[in-house]
Every structure is written in C-alpha cells, then in structure tokens.
Amino acid sequence: MSLLEVRNVNKSYGGRGRSSGIPVLRDVSFALEAGESLGLVGESGSGKTTLIKIVVGLERPDSGDVLYEGVERSSASRSTRRGFSKDVQLVFQDPVSSLNPRMTVRQLVEEGLVIHGLAGDRSGRTERVAEVLSLVGLDPDQMERLPSSFSGGQCQRIAIARALAVSPRVLVCDEAVSALDVSIQAQILNLLADMREQLGISLFFVAHDLAVVRYLCPRVMVMSRGTIVEEGPREQIFGDPQHEYTRALLEAVPVPTPVRR
Amino acid sequence: MIRSDGPLLRMRDVCIDVPGKAGSVRLVDGFSLDIAPAERVALVGESGSGKSITARAIMRLAPQTVTSGSIEFDGLDLGSLPERAMTRLRGRRIGMVFQDPMRALNPLMTIGDQLTESLRDEGVGKSEAVRRAVAILEEIGVPNAAQRLRAYPHEFSGGMRQRVAIAIALIGEPDLLIADEPTTALDVRVQRQVLQLLDRIARDRSLAVLLITHDLGLVANFVDRVAVMYAGRKVEDRRCWELFEQPAHPYTQALLATVLRLDRPVTRPKTIPGAPPHPAGRPNGCAFHPRCELAAPECSRQVPSLRRLAKGGEVACDVVGRI
C-alpha cells in the first residue's frame, strides 16, 4: 500500500449549469511511497497547482479520489481527515507572502501544534519550536521576531520549520525555491534533501525548473495540459525522454556553456 | 543614427542614493560600464544588487536620482539633458523591455495604438505608422499582424505579450535595447523562443543590448560580455565565454558553482553561506567578504578597486590577483 495515492482524478473549473467548464486535470493517477522523493514538472497552466490543492485537500476533485494510507479521503471521517492534513504539509513558493507578517516566528511555527493539539502545553510547544528552528538552521533565540526581520531565504526556512513542526509524513513543495535568489536556492534545496533523509519523510516536489527537480527527485512526472504525459526514473526522463513534450521541454533549457568567440 | 565614435553608452562612477530611515542609502556605488555599438552586455546580479536601478537610471526612469557620476549616450550627457530631449531619446534611441509585459502594456489601449503612439507623437502619418506597426509585428512573429492591431493586451498569451512589448521597444529603431529580465516571467519553451527572437533581431539590426538578469544560464549564448554586480557594485566584467571558463571573482565562482546543470551528473550543489546584504547594511570593505571562502583580513578594510586582468576584463578582488 502506498502512503499517498491519487486515483483517476478529474477537475474542471468554471462549469455552470450544463456546461462542464474547462478541464484542468484529466484522469490523473499516481502514488507516493513512504520516504520517497517524487518530482512533478510542468509549465504554467499545466495543472500543477490544482493537483497540489487536491493532494493536500484544499480542493475536491470532480471525480476520482485521494487515498492516504489506503483510506479514501472522500469517505473518511472528520478526524481521519484531520490526521491527514497534519501528515501532509505544504511549503509555498513565496515565503514572504505565505507567512503572516503580524505573527512572530514562534506563533507561525507553533500554529500547527496548537491546532492539532501536539507537544503538550506552552513550554512543550516552545521546546518543539526551538527544536525545528535549529533543525532548519535558524537561531531559536530569534523566535520572538517577525518575518520582516528575516531575509527571503530565512523566511523559507521558517516556512519549512512550520511545516515540519507537526511531524508530517509528506512535505508538498509548490515551487519552493523559485522565488529565492540563486545563491540561496542551493541552500534550501540541500536543506530539503537533508530533511527528507534525516526524518524519513516523503517529498512531493512540484516545480517548473527541471534541473532543480532532477537534483531532488529520483522519480519524476511530467505534466502537460492536465495529464501526466510521462513518468519514470530521472535517468529516463532526463537521459532518454520518451514523450515528445518532455523532449521539447528539455531542449528549451539554456545550456550554460557559451561558445568561444 | 549613431554620431559619436566612442562607446554608445558610457557610465562613469555612477552612484545612486535613496533616502532611508537613518539617512540616505547607497543602492549603486561607483558603477562604470561601456557598451559599444552593436555590443551585447549582460548585467547579472541577485535581488538588491542594484542591476535594475542601474538600468532605469540610464533611462532616467528611476525615482532615485543619480547622485554622482555621469551617464553618456552617443556623446550626450544624459544627466543634463532637458526632459523633452530625454523623452525623445526614450523609445527612439533607447528601447526598453520589462519583466512583466502585462504591467508594461496599457490594458485599455489596443496593441496597435500602443505600437504607433511614439511614431504618431513624432508626426508620422497614420497609415505609415500602421504600416510600420504591421511590419514589426510580422518581423517579431505575431501571426495575423494586421488584424491583431485591434486586439487588447489581455487577448494575447504571455509570450505573445512579451513579443508585442519588444515590438513597441523596437519600432522607433533604437540603437540600444535595455531588457530587464525579459524572459523571467515566461515558461521555458517560450523563454527560448523570445530569446532566439531577440538574438535574431539584435543581429539583423546591429542593435546594442543591455540584458539585466539573475540567470547566468540564460546569458551564456546571448551576450558578448558579462558584468556581475554584488551589493550595488560591479565586481567582475569579462568576455562571456571567459567568465564561464575561468571566473575570477570569488562571488562569480561561487555563483557558477551553485547553478544546477542538466548537462552534468546529479551532485549536491555547492552553497554560498549567508545571504546578499541589504544595501543599508553593506559590510565594510569588499561587500562579499563575510560570505567569501578566500577572505583575508584586509578584505574588510577597504573596498577593492577594479583591476584590469592580463587576459582582458576587470575584477574587483585583492585576493585572487595574488594567486
């Protein structure tokens, strides 16, 4: 049994009355195993974000289902769904806009603990906040500060700490490094790789940057116009792509080796 | 027409300050750059490096004023040029393309009106302006150009919008095109099309280009020269292929080492510790020294000046010169 499974998911937007709307996802199925890093690449409009929303439960599919530990979310009880949302945590693209600017780092990281009733009382939670902050390379002594006093890269560390605080089993990353400076991207990528390794969690990493996905994920899916057009080990996707679309995507990536002239 | 013999663009010791909470903040500190006619130069840097402000200062679009230094375009001192003359220069001699075409285009004006606006202001007749608008749209690969003149920006895809923005920048037949992250908002495949288009047009028209970008991979096969900025200063200026083959500044070296490449085996990328400084908190001496592997005690004492390298180009580092 897979840790998380997306089964024949369809989703359309804008349907009203008899019109069925514009299909955004068409019969999408895949499975994520425990401890696995799975990548999803696709261009804007391919349906990546909608798929993420469905995976974490922010949107409901029109048909099909998401299974967590073999249990269908649509028929799960409220408390099961709650456990599900604790176990599947999301890291967004832009840490500066995804963190509430009026909450301190402690409040931000603690919020999930409070909601899910974890880590006991206030002192227990403080201990847990300090623990995850050091895990992601931040100074726990700075937990009373606001996000505005941190750089973009540090804010993304805060967002990752916030996701990790509740001990999730899956970390879903939506373009988690695209908004960061080049010199910071590598830091955050290495942090994610280390977290996955140390904590044994699964990573569902969604991005448009092919090189980034290739580095983090041994298995990669390629999405175009709401369907997964190719799926396989990264050696295949990047070394011997089968689908025409994958080939076109790879060809478009600029090669950073200039010709002498 | 280019009149002077020297460089097309000549920037000397340009400093740009903005008022801050605790006194003025220097965003750009002693920046110099020459661009020859038909030469293509990339200005590469991370956010806060001052690369966009520098580009806007050339067009006098920055709300910040150039505090000191000079900017000359084809022998004209842009600092002392009256506003009317500057307006004529923009669009006519210097074209500009921005990152987000949706924001750069007027949503309430048709593409045709936006294309012909600058020509009509100069007294070009309506039918001649329309003819030129259709011609440039065709050159730039917009299908059904004549009909599309009546369309509004929202009726175009992102890539097509950026093509239209490029067409607007080029319709006045400028000598210099300033492109600020022109492909950053686009998907990879569209990014490549737009870059190929810029490449062809620049070649056909012997256009000088200043490309502002954070993406080193993008510039590799597009520009002749690369200037790297860090914390408001130019730290390296080299021929493009030499920069990639043998970067001189420790920052450039580190930056190239962090780039993940599809043409290399999967390895853990090197990282640069810390983050780029905020302009208000720029470290003393070389601004990169707190993050630099090669930092020596003197690096924190004085700002290294740009030195000429024997093989050509310039670098602002006192340590690498000794190795």
CATH number at residue A108: 3.40.50.300
Q: Which residue of B has its CA nearest to A245?
A: B189
Q: Which residue of B has its CA nearest to A178?
A: B184
The verdict on residue A261 lying in a domain is no
The answer to whether B229 touches B27, Cβ cutoff 8 Å, is: no
Q: Which residue of B has its CA nearest to A188?
A: B271
A194-226 confidence digits (pLDDT tens): 999 999 999 999 998 899 999 999 999 999 999
| Interface check A153 vs B, CB under 8 A | yes
Tell me the C-alpha distance between A118 and A128, whole Å.
9
Cβ-based contacts of B241 with chain A (< 8 Å): 258-261
Tell me the C-alpha distance between B83 and A90, whole Å.
51
The verdict on residue A67 lying in a domain is yes
Q: Which residue of A has its CA nearest to B189?
A: A252
* Nearest chain A Cα distance for residue B220, angstroms: 5
The verdict on residue A235 lying in a domain is yes
B117-173 confidence digits (pLDDT tens): 888 888 889 999 999 999 999 988 888 888 899 999 998 888 888 889 999 999 989
Span B48-68, average pLDDT: 84
Span A173-177, average pLDDT: 91
ipTM for the predicted complex:
0.81
What percent of chain A has pLDDT above 90?
Answer: 67
Domain count, chain A: 1
Domain B9-103+174-190+203-322: CATH class, spelled out = alpha beta
Q: Which of A181, A184, A256 sits opposite B259 (nearest CB)?
A: A256
The verdict on residue A259 lying in a domain is no
Q: In chain B, what are the domain boundaries?
A: 9-103+174-190+203-322
Print the domain residue range for A101.
4-252
Cβ-based contacts of B225 with chain A (< 8 Å): none
The verdict on residue A257 lying in a domain is no
- Helix A152-164 / helix A182-199 crossing angle, nearest 10 deg: 20
B217 with A256: Cβ contact below 8 A: yes
Residues on chain B bordering chain A, Cβ-to-Cβ distance under 8 angstroms: 46-47, 158, 187-189, 191-192, 195, 214-218, 220-221, 224, 240-241, 244, 254-256, 258-263, 266, 268-273, 275-276
* Nearest chain B Cα distance for residue A15, angstroms: 21
